[in-house]
Chains A and B, each alone.
Chain A
Amino acid sequence: MLDERPRAIAIMAATTMLSRDTVLETVERVLRNDLKFGQAPICEQTKLVGGDLHLDSLDLLMVVTGTEKALAIKLPGRRIDGSVMSTVGTFVDFVCAEMSTPAGKR
Protein backbone atom coordinates (compact mmCIF):
# COMPACT_ATOMS: atom_id res chain seq x y z
CA MET A 1 0.00 0.00 0.00
CA LEU A 2 2.80 2.38 0.76
CA ASP A 3 5.43 1.69 -1.85
CA GLU A 4 5.44 1.17 -5.57
CA ARG A 5 5.22 -2.61 -5.73
CA PRO A 6 1.79 -3.10 -4.14
CA ARG A 7 0.53 -0.18 -6.21
CA ALA A 8 1.73 -1.92 -9.35
CA ILE A 9 0.04 -5.12 -8.23
CA ALA A 10 -3.17 -3.21 -7.63
CA ILE A 11 -3.03 -1.75 -11.11
CA MET A 12 -2.51 -5.21 -12.56
CA ALA A 13 -5.42 -6.58 -10.55
CA ALA A 14 -7.65 -3.72 -11.58
CA THR A 15 -7.04 -4.51 -15.22
CA THR A 16 -7.47 -8.24 -14.80
CA MET A 17 -10.98 -9.64 -14.90
CA LEU A 18 -11.36 -12.24 -12.19
CA SER A 19 -14.24 -14.63 -12.44
CA ARG A 20 -16.89 -14.85 -9.74
CA ASP A 21 -15.79 -18.42 -9.10
CA THR A 22 -12.26 -17.20 -8.42
CA VAL A 23 -13.52 -14.64 -5.93
CA LEU A 24 -15.71 -17.26 -4.26
CA GLU A 25 -12.79 -19.69 -4.00
CA THR A 26 -10.64 -16.94 -2.54
CA VAL A 27 -13.18 -16.02 0.13
CA GLU A 28 -13.62 -19.68 1.03
CA ARG A 29 -9.86 -20.08 1.28
CA VAL A 30 -9.61 -17.07 3.58
CA LEU A 31 -12.32 -18.52 5.81
CA ARG A 32 -10.74 -21.96 5.90
CA ASN A 33 -7.12 -20.90 6.29
CA ASP A 34 -6.99 -17.44 7.88
CA LEU A 35 -10.01 -17.90 10.12
CA LYS A 36 -9.32 -21.57 10.77
CA PHE A 37 -12.64 -23.03 9.65
CA GLY A 38 -10.79 -25.90 8.01
CA GLN A 39 -13.16 -28.38 6.43
CA ALA A 40 -16.36 -26.82 7.77
CA PRO A 41 -19.14 -26.72 5.16
CA ILE A 42 -18.96 -23.33 3.42
CA CYS A 43 -21.03 -22.28 0.45
CA GLU A 44 -22.54 -19.11 -0.98
CA GLN A 45 -25.49 -19.33 1.40
CA THR A 46 -23.32 -19.66 4.49
CA LYS A 47 -24.13 -16.86 6.90
CA LEU A 48 -21.15 -14.82 8.05
CA VAL A 49 -22.98 -13.01 10.84
CA GLY A 50 -25.01 -15.14 13.21
CA GLY A 51 -26.06 -18.64 12.23
CA ASP A 52 -23.42 -20.71 10.54
CA LEU A 53 -20.02 -19.17 11.15
CA HIS A 54 -21.00 -16.58 13.75
CA LEU A 55 -18.15 -14.20 12.95
CA ASP A 56 -17.57 -11.16 15.12
CA SER A 57 -16.51 -7.75 13.83
CA LEU A 58 -12.80 -8.52 13.98
CA ASP A 59 -13.37 -11.78 12.08
CA LEU A 60 -15.28 -9.88 9.40
CA LEU A 61 -12.40 -7.44 9.07
CA MET A 62 -10.07 -10.41 8.59
CA VAL A 63 -12.33 -11.72 5.81
CA VAL A 64 -12.17 -8.34 4.08
CA THR A 65 -8.44 -7.78 4.47
CA GLY A 66 -7.60 -11.41 3.69
CA THR A 67 -9.60 -11.23 0.48
CA GLU A 68 -7.95 -7.92 -0.44
CA LYS A 69 -4.49 -9.39 0.05
CA ALA A 70 -5.26 -12.57 -1.85
CA LEU A 71 -6.72 -10.71 -4.82
CA ALA A 72 -4.36 -7.69 -4.56
CA ILE A 73 -7.25 -5.26 -4.48
CA LYS A 74 -8.50 -2.49 -2.21
CA LEU A 75 -12.16 -2.47 -1.31
CA PRO A 76 -13.91 0.78 -0.34
CA GLY A 77 -14.28 0.46 3.41
CA ARG A 78 -17.07 2.93 3.92
CA ARG A 79 -19.50 0.82 1.89
CA ILE A 80 -18.98 -2.46 3.71
CA ASP A 81 -22.02 -2.80 5.94
CA GLY A 82 -24.16 -5.57 7.40
CA SER A 83 -25.92 -6.32 4.13
CA VAL A 84 -22.58 -6.82 2.34
CA MET A 85 -21.33 -9.14 5.06
CA SER A 86 -24.57 -11.09 5.45
CA THR A 87 -23.48 -14.26 3.66
CA VAL A 88 -20.50 -15.53 1.71
CA GLY A 89 -22.50 -14.89 -1.47
CA THR A 90 -23.38 -11.28 -0.66
CA PHE A 91 -19.74 -10.51 0.07
CA VAL A 92 -18.61 -12.19 -3.15
CA ASP A 93 -21.21 -10.15 -5.06
CA PHE A 94 -19.86 -6.99 -3.46
CA VAL A 95 -16.26 -7.82 -4.35
CA CYS A 96 -17.19 -8.65 -7.95
CA ALA A 97 -19.21 -5.44 -8.28
CA GLU A 98 -16.35 -3.35 -6.93
CA MET A 99 -13.83 -5.01 -9.22
CA SER A 100 -15.97 -4.27 -12.25
CA THR A 101 -16.51 -0.63 -11.31
CA PRO A 102 -14.02 1.90 -12.69
CA ALA A 103 -11.96 3.41 -9.86
CA GLY A 104 -13.15 6.93 -10.56
CA LYS A 105 -16.79 5.93 -10.09
CA ARG A 106 -16.37 4.35 -6.68
Chain B
Amino acid sequence: MRVDPEKDRRLDAPCDPSRCAALDALPQQPPFRFLTTAQRDGKEGDAIRGTWVIDGREPFFAGHFPGDPVLPGVLIAEALAQLAGLLFTDPTIDSASAHRSATATAPASAPASALDCAAAPASAHHAAPALAAKPAPSLLVGIDMRYRAVVRPPVTLSLCSRLDRMIGPIAEFEVAATLGEQRVADGRLSLRMPDGAAP
Protein backbone atom coordinates (compact mmCIF):
# COMPACT_ATOMS: atom_id res chain seq x y z
CA MET B 1 0.00 0.00 0.00
CA ARG B 2 1.37 3.38 -0.92
CA VAL B 3 -0.21 5.57 1.73
CA ASP B 4 1.09 5.19 5.27
CA PRO B 5 -1.90 5.46 7.66
CA GLU B 6 0.44 5.90 10.60
CA LYS B 7 1.94 9.01 9.02
CA ASP B 8 -1.57 10.22 8.28
CA ARG B 9 -2.62 9.82 11.92
CA ARG B 10 0.50 11.61 13.07
CA LEU B 11 -0.64 14.74 11.28
CA ASP B 12 -3.52 15.04 13.73
CA ALA B 13 -1.62 14.46 16.98
CA PRO B 14 -1.61 17.46 19.32
CA CYS B 15 1.41 19.63 20.03
CA ASP B 16 3.04 19.18 23.42
CA PRO B 17 3.67 22.75 24.64
CA SER B 18 6.42 21.58 26.98
CA ARG B 19 8.61 20.58 24.01
CA CYS B 20 8.84 23.64 21.83
CA ALA B 21 11.32 25.09 19.42
CA ALA B 22 12.28 28.72 19.76
CA LEU B 23 9.95 30.59 17.44
CA ASP B 24 12.30 33.52 17.33
CA ALA B 25 14.40 31.41 14.99
CA LEU B 26 11.71 31.98 12.38
CA PRO B 27 12.41 34.60 9.71
CA GLN B 28 8.75 35.62 9.92
CA GLN B 29 7.94 37.92 12.78
CA PRO B 30 4.79 39.64 14.09
CA PRO B 31 2.48 40.72 12.71
CA PHE B 32 3.18 38.09 10.06
CA ARG B 33 4.02 35.15 12.27
CA PHE B 34 1.14 32.72 12.58
CA LEU B 35 2.53 30.24 15.10
CA THR B 36 2.21 30.14 18.86
CA THR B 37 4.00 26.89 19.68
CA ALA B 38 6.11 24.44 17.71
CA GLN B 39 7.92 21.20 18.39
CA ARG B 40 9.77 18.68 16.30
CA ASP B 41 8.27 15.23 16.02
CA GLY B 42 8.71 12.03 14.10
CA LYS B 43 11.10 9.17 14.56
CA GLU B 44 13.44 10.60 11.97
CA GLY B 45 12.76 14.20 12.89
CA ASP B 46 10.80 14.57 9.67
CA ALA B 47 7.74 16.24 11.17
CA ILE B 48 6.98 19.30 13.19
CA ARG B 49 3.76 20.23 14.90
CA GLY B 50 2.51 23.38 16.47
CA THR B 51 -0.39 25.57 17.41
CA TRP B 52 -1.71 28.95 16.46
CA VAL B 53 -3.80 30.68 19.09
CA ILE B 54 -6.26 33.01 17.41
CA ASP B 55 -8.12 35.37 19.73
CA GLY B 56 -10.15 37.29 17.17
CA ARG B 57 -8.29 40.58 17.57
CA GLU B 58 -5.96 39.93 14.63
CA PRO B 59 -6.17 42.86 12.20
CA PHE B 60 -7.24 40.80 9.17
CA PHE B 61 -10.55 39.93 10.81
CA ALA B 62 -11.61 43.55 10.42
CA GLY B 63 -11.95 42.92 6.72
CA HIS B 64 -12.45 39.15 6.50
CA PHE B 65 -15.30 39.66 6.99
CA PRO B 66 -16.72 42.80 8.65
CA GLY B 67 -18.92 41.60 11.50
CA ASP B 68 -18.43 37.98 10.46
CA PRO B 69 -14.82 36.96 11.23
CA VAL B 70 -13.58 33.96 9.24
CA LEU B 71 -9.98 32.81 9.27
CA PRO B 72 -8.63 33.16 5.70
CA GLY B 73 -7.62 29.80 4.29
CA VAL B 74 -4.44 31.25 2.82
CA LEU B 75 -3.30 32.14 6.34
CA ILE B 76 -3.80 28.54 7.45
CA ALA B 77 -1.52 27.56 4.56
CA GLU B 78 0.93 30.27 5.57
CA ALA B 79 0.96 29.04 9.18
CA LEU B 80 1.64 25.50 7.98
CA ALA B 81 4.39 26.79 5.69
CA GLN B 82 6.01 28.72 8.55
CA LEU B 83 5.87 25.57 10.64
CA ALA B 84 7.43 23.56 7.82
CA GLY B 85 10.23 26.10 7.50
CA LEU B 86 11.06 25.59 11.18
CA LEU B 87 11.98 22.00 10.41
CA PHE B 88 14.99 23.41 8.60
CA THR B 89 15.92 25.81 11.36
CA ASP B 90 18.10 24.42 14.11
CA PRO B 91 16.15 25.29 17.26
CA THR B 92 19.38 25.56 19.21
CA ILE B 93 20.58 28.41 17.04
CA ASP B 94 20.55 31.65 18.99
CA SER B 95 18.47 29.98 21.69
CA ALA B 96 19.82 32.30 24.35
CA SER B 97 18.69 35.45 22.58
CA ALA B 98 15.42 33.81 21.66
CA HIS B 99 14.86 33.09 25.33
CA ARG B 100 15.65 36.66 26.30
CA SER B 101 13.34 38.01 23.65
CA ALA B 102 10.53 35.72 24.73
CA THR B 103 11.08 36.67 28.34
CA ALA B 104 10.69 40.30 27.43
CA THR B 105 7.30 39.79 25.80
CA ALA B 106 5.80 36.93 27.81
CA PRO B 107 3.40 37.61 30.66
CA ALA B 108 5.14 37.78 34.02
CA SER B 109 3.09 34.84 35.22
CA ALA B 110 4.12 32.59 32.34
CA PRO B 111 5.95 29.48 33.48
CA ALA B 112 9.63 29.45 32.59
CA SER B 113 9.29 26.18 30.68
CA ALA B 114 6.84 27.79 28.27
CA LEU B 115 8.80 30.94 27.58
CA ASP B 116 10.47 29.81 24.39
CA CYS B 117 7.21 28.88 22.76
CA ALA B 118 4.51 30.78 24.58
CA ALA B 119 1.95 32.72 22.64
CA ALA B 120 2.93 36.30 22.25
CA PRO B 121 0.37 38.27 24.22
CA ALA B 122 -2.14 40.15 22.14
CA SER B 123 -0.34 43.41 22.86
CA ALA B 124 2.84 41.96 21.37
CA HIS B 125 1.25 41.07 18.04
CA HIS B 126 2.30 44.44 16.74
CA ALA B 127 5.65 44.64 18.49
CA ALA B 128 8.63 45.69 16.39
CA PRO B 129 10.55 42.73 14.97
CA ALA B 130 13.68 41.72 16.81
CA LEU B 131 16.81 43.31 15.40
CA ALA B 132 18.84 40.09 15.55
CA ALA B 133 19.77 38.65 12.16
CA LYS B 134 17.33 35.97 11.04
CA PRO B 135 18.11 32.93 8.97
CA ALA B 136 17.39 33.16 5.28
CA PRO B 137 13.70 32.42 4.77
CA SER B 138 12.35 29.40 3.00
CA LEU B 139 9.97 30.54 0.28
CA LEU B 140 6.60 29.04 -0.54
CA VAL B 141 6.59 27.81 -4.14
CA GLY B 142 3.65 25.41 -4.29
CA ILE B 143 0.25 25.01 -2.60
CA ASP B 144 -2.25 22.17 -3.00
CA MET B 145 -4.72 22.57 -0.14
CA ARG B 146 -8.23 21.44 0.71
CA TYR B 147 -10.32 23.35 3.23
CA ARG B 148 -12.90 21.26 5.04
CA ALA B 149 -14.44 23.60 7.61
CA VAL B 150 -14.90 27.30 8.31
CA VAL B 151 -12.72 28.53 11.18
CA ARG B 152 -13.96 31.38 13.35
CA PRO B 153 -12.16 32.95 16.32
CA PRO B 154 -11.42 32.45 19.11
CA VAL B 155 -9.78 29.09 18.44
CA THR B 156 -6.49 27.28 18.83
CA LEU B 157 -5.50 25.58 15.60
CA SER B 158 -3.35 22.48 15.79
CA LEU B 159 -0.88 22.29 12.92
CA CYS B 160 1.39 19.61 11.53
CA SER B 161 3.87 19.65 8.64
CA ARG B 162 5.71 16.48 7.64
CA LEU B 163 8.58 16.45 5.18
CA ASP B 164 7.68 14.08 2.38
CA ARG B 165 10.50 14.55 -0.10
CA MET B 166 13.23 16.84 -1.28
CA ILE B 167 14.24 17.41 -4.87
CA GLY B 168 17.19 19.75 -5.01
CA PRO B 169 16.34 22.78 -2.87
CA ILE B 170 12.60 22.10 -3.08
CA ALA B 171 11.03 20.42 -0.04
CA GLU B 172 7.51 19.05 -0.26
CA PHE B 173 5.44 18.66 2.90
CA GLU B 174 2.25 16.89 3.86
CA VAL B 175 0.33 19.31 6.06
CA ALA B 176 -2.82 19.38 8.14
CA ALA B 177 -4.66 21.75 10.47
CA THR B 178 -7.16 20.51 13.03
CA LEU B 179 -9.56 21.88 15.60
CA GLY B 180 -9.93 19.28 18.31
CA GLU B 181 -10.78 16.13 16.41
CA GLN B 182 -11.91 17.94 13.29
CA ARG B 183 -9.61 18.27 10.31
CA VAL B 184 -10.16 21.77 8.92
CA ALA B 185 -7.50 21.81 6.19
CA ASP B 186 -4.94 19.50 4.65
CA GLY B 187 -2.82 19.18 1.58
CA ARG B 188 0.71 19.63 0.33
CA LEU B 189 3.05 22.59 0.40
CA SER B 190 6.35 23.04 -1.41
CA LEU B 191 9.06 25.35 -0.10
CA ARG B 192 12.32 26.44 -1.67
CA MET B 193 14.92 26.09 1.04
CA PRO B 194 17.86 28.44 1.48
CA ASP B 195 21.28 27.19 0.41
CA GLY B 196 22.71 24.60 2.74
CA ALA B 197 19.51 24.09 4.74
CA ALA B 198 18.86 20.57 5.98
CA PRO B 199 16.19 19.13 8.26
Contacts and interface: CB of A to CB of B under 8 A. Distances in A.
Contact of A57 (B3, B5, B170): B170
Give the interface SS of chain B, mostly helix, strand, loop or mixed.
strand
A78 B198 CA distance: 13
B2 A13 contact: yes
Nearest to B170: A57
B165 A77 contact: yes
A73 to B, nearest CB: 5
A1 B8 contact: yes
B190 interface: yes
Contacts, number: 62
A76 B8 CA distance: 15
Interface in B7-36: 8, 11
B168 A60 contact: yes
A10 B172 contact: no
Contacts of A85: 167
Contacts of B5: 7
A11 B1 contact: yes
Contacts of B168: 56-57, 60
B1 A77 contact: no
A14 B1 contact: yes
Interface string B101-139: 000000000000000000000000000000000000000
Nearest to A62: B142
A77 B166 contact: yes
A70 interface: no
B141 interface: yes
A56 B141 CA distance: 12
Contacts of A11: 1
A1 B164 CA distance: 12
A58 B168 CA distance: 9
A80 interface: yes
B1 A2 contact: no
Interface string A65-91: 100000001101110100001000000
Interface string B162-199: 00111111101010100000010010101010000000
A58 B141 contact: yes
Interface of A: 1-2, 6-7, 10-11, 13-14, 56-58, 60-61, 64-65, 73-74, 76-78, 80, 85, 103
Given A58-B190, A65-B172, A74-B2, 19 more contacts: A1-B3, A2-B176, A6-B3, A11-B1, A13-B2, A14-B2, A57-B169, A57-B192, A58-B141, A58-B142, A60-B167, A60-B170, A61-B165, A65-B188, A77-B164, A77-B167, A78-B165, A85-B167, A103-B2
What 3 A-B pairs are tightest by C-beta distance, nearest first?
Answer: A77-B165, A57-B168, A74-B2
